[in-house]
Chains A and B, each alone.
Chain A
Amino acid sequence: MAQVPAHVLVVDDEPNILLSLEFLMQQAGFDVTTAEDGESALAHIDANRPDLLLLDISLPGISGFDVLGQLRATPATRHLKIIMLTAHGREIEREKGMALGADDYITKPFSTRALVEMVKALLTEANHDAP
């Protein structure tokens, strides 16, 4: 059965990081879209319903936490899989992200393999959860 590839949206304001994430997700066989800030990310999610979101915390304009909060407050996106990315290694940020409803959390610089596995695991989980 030919599966429709999962759709991943990557949000980061660092062009080079964005480039690496885009490449990694493509290599893993996902459909990838990129966004550089929270506003355009929200607009894209509204229009295209991605399956998973890689979300950086420090974004220009509205922050990653704000984006996360808005998504979890909206019924349509309440179950969207979200992985937070941060360059801040502080434990409190991780706790805050998880409390706001992130599915997982990864600190920069990250292991590419660990990230890809994390994404795959969440998407598999999502398929099992699906009715």
Chain B
Amino acid sequence: MRSDLVVLAAAFGYLALLFVVAAWGDRRAEAGRSAIGSPTVYALSIAVYCTAWTFYGSVGRASSQGPHFLLIYLGPTLAMLSAPFVIRKMVRIAARQRITSIADFISARYGKSAGLGAMVAFMALISSTPYIALQLKAITVSHAVLVNYPRPADMALEQAHFWIDKSFWVAMVLAVFIILFGTRHLDASERHEGMVAAIALESLVKLVAFLAVGIFVVFVMFNGPGDLLGQVARTPELSRVLSLEQVPGGATGWVGVLILAVLAFLTLPRQFQVLVVENVDETHIDRASWLFPLYLLLINLFVIPIALAGLLLGGASADPDSFVLTLPLSAGAQALPLFVFIGGLSAATGMMIVETIALSTMVSNQLVMPLLLRLDLLHLSGKGELAAWLLGIRRIAIVLILLLGYGYHALIGDAYSLVTIGLVSFVGAAQFAPAMLIGLYWRGATRTGALLGLGAGFGIWAYTLLIPGFAQSGWLDISLIEQGPWGIGWLNPYALFGLEGWDIYTHALLWSLMANVGLLVGVSLFARQSALEQTQAALFTEALHPNLPSASLWHGQTTQGELGELLNRYLGVAATRRVFALPSGKLPGSAFTQPSERTFAADRPASHQLITRAEQALAGSLGNASARVLINSVVRGEALDLESILSILDTTSQALEYNRRLEQKSAELERASEALRRANERLRELDRLKDEFIAMVSHELRTPLTSIRAFAEILHAEDSLEADKRRHFLNVIVHESQRLSRLIEEILDLAKLESGRLTLNPERLDLAALARRSVDAVARLQHDRGVSLDVELPDAPAMIVGDADRLEQVIINLLDNAGKFSDHTTPHVLLRLGRHKDHFRLSVEDNGPGISAAERERVFEKFHQLQQQEHTQGRPRGSGLGLAISRGIIAHLGGRLWVENGKQLAGACLTLELPEAPPTMPRQAGHHDLNA
């Protein structure tokens, strides 16, 4: 048996250490050098989630229900995935609106409703009580186990009278400690930086302690995990612990508990406190979103090994909730059990400190203060007594909350295991989730809906979980949970409306959330929101909007003097000075002001910004609902008139809309100007091309005209010209005139082609016949030039759709070109027509030098003349438009015209391709056979 003195000394020593850390943190904060400016500290403080329930209860749970306990830690891990959106939004709102608790948050969201705030505070108080009881039970039991081992801890005896019950004294010692700890500050509105530092330390202590006992059990008591699992495998009845089948309620139970853990993580008063209220820097969320899940992983690492070890080594005799203590004790370890006890103490005290501080803030701001203000019982003379009042209320609240916890523990504490008690609280806290989360994203959620939803959810929670607890402990007739009240089966709290076979938590969660969400959404769809509600709803749902104005929403009138007096009365001189941003010594309208100074600002109207700042300062101490009441008391006229609020919101959204439109317009303008620039460039290019074309045309026209004029003048001047010469000169004039006409025709064709006004008369025709006709037309000329012309045509008709005249013009142009291009001594041209898939190809090949790859596309340009062209042989020169026109015509007929190097004659080969005409008449279908 261990000396009680040593244990008590260690416990008090640990508490003293915490106190020193907290005091240090507070001093750092006062000096402006925050000790909790690290995201790691933030993540560790969130680990206040792991309480005595985790420290002792997880092993207990794992011993009977296998991996089920993990769900409680999977939930927060999932919730942290949403941290960048949901938690960030909550943190930003809390910082903007000076939110002090989850009750304040929900009250502020629904139009700073005092009723809603009071309701949430009350519900938080009731639902947290079992949870605080759980911590008390854990401390008391672990102390008893440690001191009495190996004798079993005889708890029943100690509960005979509360003054000899250790839990009672633990509660009282902690009350004193928390009062010292959390209400040291005279300025009640500040964050509790010292507390957060101490909680972060506690999180480290409990983690290290749990890992220590885990390592001790697995590696000292057993030879590593292999040994442990090997021994378990030889004990068949233990293997079942590892299986998933042990989870009550089956798959629904899993899902239910998982959802429960996600919601509770965000809504438990202490979690909201550390996650949201105590957050000093929004960016800390990023690291916490992975560091905290990592913490959860570590602290759960040894749960199952310890549970298995406990069951192996005579688990029947000891309570599984105490395995972490009894295992090292049974192995004869000296220091480790004490360290484990300190670890459990840190887990329990961490929860109790934060929970009690969060609850006491709610009790003072949401329950007591509004009541005092309403009953006009708050008599303040302007010497900063408000802080004293608040601290007084909170201190009393702390004692009462812990007494309530003790009461619950003393009444029914033994009926439930640690985890069971915790889950009851979880379901209670989860009732805040709909009002909070839906309110974050749905602007239409109303105060009435939230009130009714919360009320119904809470009622069902109390009926299905809280009250049955009293029945199970014998304080109410056990028949309530066995047969239902008055024997009415469908009212059975554990099987409401006949829903049986579920575990009691999932069952309670389903019914309570269904009623809660249903009423919140259903009523909100029909209820009207007040102006303030609309404003607050917009500020909450749009919190992450970068352009959200920190709108000054006060539109009433008051003087700086009145406002100053109000602030001074409630918050004291220093805080008032901060609000007015004044140097020390000057205070408008204050009793401390010199008469000469009194006039300097006292009669001036207070700006809306100043009123808003004053309200925020009051909200930081008293909560949003009370702050609104106080400001209303000095602001004359309709403090918040519907019209102006709506117009502010409207202006804001109009401005946003206008801004959005402006951006849209400017983007459109940019696109338009880009299009314009491109069009301009294109126009300039077209203009240049047009100039070039006109210069070319003028050049081409001038050339034949020059010969015509020169010879006409010569013939005119020289009467004595011999007949031969005269005839030759006249021939030239005729020839050049023809050339001129042809050129003009071509230019007109080209103009029509390019403007799309070329009229074609498409008809079904035989390309082979057309080719033959074209060859006949040029045969004479080619013969004169000494060009030999070969033709390869199919026997079957090659039916296409085209304009006969135009196509003939193209084929003649190709033949003509080929004759000219060929500078061979024996020029040779080959025309072939053949089928290519569902097209016909007509190619004209010569035995000239061919066309280089670079030139191939350029031959289709207007006025393009090939370099090696005819001048050496003195042949008449083309206009350079023929191929351009030919390609245009073929394109108009849906075909292609291109040039390549011929395969047979190795010269240039121009090929035109036209689609085969679709068969129109049944009789003509026969030509397919001919083609084949």
Contact string, B680-719, partner A, CB cutoff 8 A, digits 1/0?
0000000000000001001100111111111101100110
**A110, B710: Cβ atoms under 8 Å?**
yes
- Kindly list chain B residues whose C-beta atoms are within 8 Å of the C-beta of A16: 704, 707, 711, 732, 735-736
- Kindly list chain A residues whose C-beta atoms are within 8 Å of the C-beta of B877: 14
**A14, B703: Cβ atoms under 8 Å?**
yes
- Kindly list chain A residues whose C-beta atoms are within 8 Å of the C-beta of B709: 109-112
The yes or no answer to B922 lying at the interface (CB within 8 A) is no
**A109, B705: Cβ atoms under 8 Å?**
yes
Q: How far is the CA of A41 from the CA of B912 in the complex (A)?
A: 41
Contact string, A79-108, partner B, CB cutoff 8 A, digits 1/0?
000000001111000000000000000011
Contact of A113 among B699, B706, B713, B718 (CB under 8 A): B713
**A17, B714: Cβ atoms under 8 Å?**
no
Q: How far is the CA of A13 from the CA of B876 in the complex (A)?
A: 11
The yes or no answer to A58 lying at the interface (CB within 8 A) is yes
**A87, B874: Cβ atoms under 8 Å?**
no
- Kindly list chain B residues whose C-beta atoms are within 8 Å of the C-beta of A24: 710, 714
The yes or no answer to A15 lying at the interface (CB within 8 A) is yes
**Chain B min CB distance to A3 (Å):** 23
- Kindly list chain B residues whose C-beta atoms are within 8 Å of the C-beta of A109: 702, 705-706, 708-710
**A90, B695: Cβ atoms under 8 Å?**
yes
- Kindly list chain A residues whose C-beta atoms are within 8 Å of the C-beta of B736: 16
Q: How far is the CA of A37 from the CA of B872 in the complex (A)?
A: 10
Q: How far is the CA of A88 from the CA of B694 in the complex (A)?
A: 10
The yes or no answer to B871 lying at the interface (CB within 8 A) is yes
- Kindly list chain A residues whose C-beta atoms are within 8 Å of the C-beta of B869: 60
The yes or no answer to A48 lying at the interface (CB within 8 A) is no
Q: How far is the CA of A107 from the CA of B707 in the complex (A)?
A: 13
Question: Which B residues, 856 to 872, have Cβ-Cβ distances below 8 Å to chain A?
Answer: 867, 869, 871
Task: Count contacts on B: residues with CB < 8 A to the other chain.
Answer: 25
Contact of A20 among B695, B711, B867 (CB under 8 A): B711
Question: Which B residues, 721 to 759, have Cβ-Cβ distances below 8 Å to chain A?
Answer: 732, 735-736
- Kindly list chain B residues whose C-beta atoms are within 8 Å of the C-beta of A27: 714, 718
- Residues A108 and B703 in contact in the complex (CB < 8 Å), given A16-B736, A90-B695: yes
**B706, A87: Cβ atoms under 8 Å?**
yes
- Residues A60 and B871 in contact in the complex (CB < 8 Å), given A16-B736, A108-B702: yes
**Chain A min CB distance to B116 (Å):** 88
**Chain B min CB distance to A120 (Å):** 15
**Chain B min CB distance to A36 (Å):** 6
Q: How far is the CA of A24 from the CA of B714 in the complex (A)?
A: 8
- Kindly list chain B residues whose C-beta atoms are within 8 Å of the C-beta of A52: none
- Kindly list chain A residues whose C-beta atoms are within 8 Å of the C-beta of B735: 16
Question: Which A residues, 102 to 131, have Cβ-Cβ distances below 8 Å to chain B?
Answer: 107-113
**B699, A21: Cβ atoms under 8 Å?**
no
Q: How far is the CA of A75 from the CA of B718 in the complex (A)?
A: 40
Contact of B710 among A13, A20, A90 (CB under 8 A): A20
In the complex, what residue of chain A is closest to B868 when comparing beta carbons? A60
In the complex, what residue of chain A is closest to B716 when comparing beta carbons? A112
**B705, A108: Cβ atoms under 8 Å?**
yes
Q: How far is the CA of A87 from the CA of B700 in the complex (A)?
A: 8
Q: How far is the CA of A88 from the CA of B714 in the complex (A)?
A: 23
In the complex, what residue of chain A is closest to B701 when comparing beta carbons? A87
- Kindly list chain A residues whose C-beta atoms are within 8 Å of the C-beta of B698: 87-89
Contact of A110 among B695, B706, B718, B871 (CB under 8 A): B706
- Kindly list chain A residues whose C-beta atoms are within 8 Å of the C-beta of B714: 20, 23-24, 27, 112
Q: How far is the CA of A68 from the CA of B710 in the complex (A)?
A: 24
Q: How far is the CA of A58 from the CA of B871 in the complex (A)?
A: 13
The yes or no answer to A19 lying at the interface (CB within 8 A) is yes
- Kindly list chain B residues whose C-beta atoms are within 8 Å of the C-beta of A107: 702
- Kindly list chain B residues whose C-beta atoms are within 8 Å of the C-beta of A111: 709, 713
Q: Which of B698, B710, B867, B877 has the most CB of A within 10 A?
A: B710
Q: How far is the CA of A111 from the CA of B714 in the complex (A)?
A: 10
**Chain A min CB distance to B813 (Å):** 22
- Kindly list chain A residues whose C-beta atoms are within 8 Å of the C-beta of B695: 88, 90
Q: How far is the CA of A90 from the CA of B718 in the complex (A)?
A: 32
In the complex, what residue of chain B is closest to A108 when comparing beta carbons? B706
**B717, A112: Cβ atoms under 8 Å?**
yes
**Chain B min CB distance to A19 (Å):** 7
- Kindly list chain B residues whose C-beta atoms are within 8 Å of the C-beta of A90: 695
Q: How far is the CA of A31 from the CA of B705 in the complex (A)?
A: 26
Q: How far is the CA of A14 from the CA of B711 in the complex (A)?
A: 14
In the complex, what residue of chain B is closest to A19 when comparing beta carbons? B732
Q: How far is the CA of A117 from the CA of B846 in the complex (A)?
A: 48
**A17, B718: Cβ atoms under 8 Å?**
no
- Residues A13 and B699 in contact in the complex (CB < 8 Å), given A20-B711, A108-B705, A109-B709: no
Q: How far is the CA of A38 from the CA of B551 in the complex (A)?
A: 86
**A87, B732: Cβ atoms under 8 Å?**
no
- Residues A87 and B702 in contact in the complex (CB < 8 Å), given A16-B732, A27-B718: yes
Q: Which of A13, A20, A110 has the most CB of B within 10 A?
A: A20
- Residues A13 and B705 in contact in the complex (CB < 8 Å), given A27-B718, A88-B695, A88-B699: no
Q: How far is the CA of A24 from the CA of B710 in the complex (A)?
A: 9
Question: Which B residues, 61 to 96, have Cβ-Cβ distances below 8 Å to chain A?
Answer: none
Question: Which A residues, 1 to 52, have Cβ-Cβ distances below 8 Å to chain B?
Answer: 13-17, 19-21, 23-24, 27, 36-37
**Chain B min CB distance to A30 (Å):** 15
- Kindly list chain A residues whose C-beta atoms are within 8 Å of the C-beta of B874: 15
In the complex, what residue of chain A is closest to B708 when comparing beta carbons? A109
**B867, A21: Cβ atoms under 8 Å?**
no
**Chain A min CB distance to B872 (Å):** 8
- Residues A17 and B710 in contact in the complex (CB < 8 Å), given A36-B871, A60-B871: yes
In the complex, what residue of chain A is closest to B704 when comparing beta carbons? A16
Question: Which B residues, 889 to 906, have Cβ-Cβ distances below 8 Å to chain A?
Answer: none
**Chain A min CB distance to B678 (Å):** 29
**Chain B min CB distance to A87 (Å):** 4
In the complex, what residue of chain A is closest to B698 when comparing beta carbons? A89
Q: How far is the CA of A90 from the CA of B877 in the complex (A)?
A: 23
- Kindly list chain B residues whose C-beta atoms are within 8 Å of the C-beta of A14: 703, 706-707, 877
- Kindly list chain B residues whose C-beta atoms are within 8 Å of the C-beta of A108: 702-703, 705-706
- Kindly list chain B residues whose C-beta atoms are within 8 Å of the C-beta of A19: 707, 732
**A89, B702: Cβ atoms under 8 Å?**
yes
**Chain B min CB distance to A111 (Å):** 7
**Chain B min CB distance to A113 (Å):** 7
- Kindly list chain A residues whose C-beta atoms are within 8 Å of the C-beta of B705: 108-109
**B871, A37: Cβ atoms under 8 Å?**
yes
- Kindly list chain B residues whose C-beta atoms are within 8 Å of the C-beta of A58: 699
Q: How far is the CA of A11 from the CA of B714 in the complex (A)?
A: 19
**Chain A min CB distance to B707 (Å):** 4
- Kindly list chain B residues whose C-beta atoms are within 8 Å of the C-beta of A13: 871
**Chain B min CB distance to A49 (Å):** 26
**Chain A min CB distance to B700 (Å):** 8
In the complex, what residue of chain B is closest to A89 when comparing beta carbons? B698
**B867, A60: Cβ atoms under 8 Å?**
yes
**Chain A min CB distance to B771 (Å):** 32
- Kindly list chain B residues whose C-beta atoms are within 8 Å of the C-beta of A112: 709-710, 713-714, 717
Q: Which residues of A contact B (CB under 8 A)?
A: 13-17, 19-21, 23-24, 27, 36-37, 58, 60, 87-90, 107-113
Closest 10 CB pairs of A and B: A20-B710, A87-B702, A16-B707, A108-B706, A109-B706, A109-B709, A112-B713, A87-B699, A109-B705, A108-B702
29 contacts between A and B (CB under 8 A): A14-B703, A15-B874, A16-B707, A16-B711, A16-B735, A17-B703, A17-B707, A19-B707, A19-B732, A20-B714, A20-B732, A21-B710, A24-B710, A27-B714, A36-B871, A60-B867, A87-B702, A87-B703, A88-B699, A90-B695, A108-B702, A108-B705, A109-B702, A110-B710, A112-B709, A112-B710, A112-B713, A112-B717, A113-B717
Q: Which residues of B contact A (CB under 8 A)?
A: 695, 698-699, 702-711, 713-714, 717-718, 732, 735-736, 867, 869, 871, 874, 877
Further contacts, 20 of them, CB under 8 A, given A14-B706, A16-B711, A112-B710: A14-B707, A15-B874, A17-B703, A20-B732, A24-B710, A24-B714, A37-B871, A60-B871, A87-B699, A87-B702, A88-B699, A89-B698, A90-B695, A108-B705, A108-B706, A109-B702, A109-B709, A112-B709, A112-B714, A112-B717
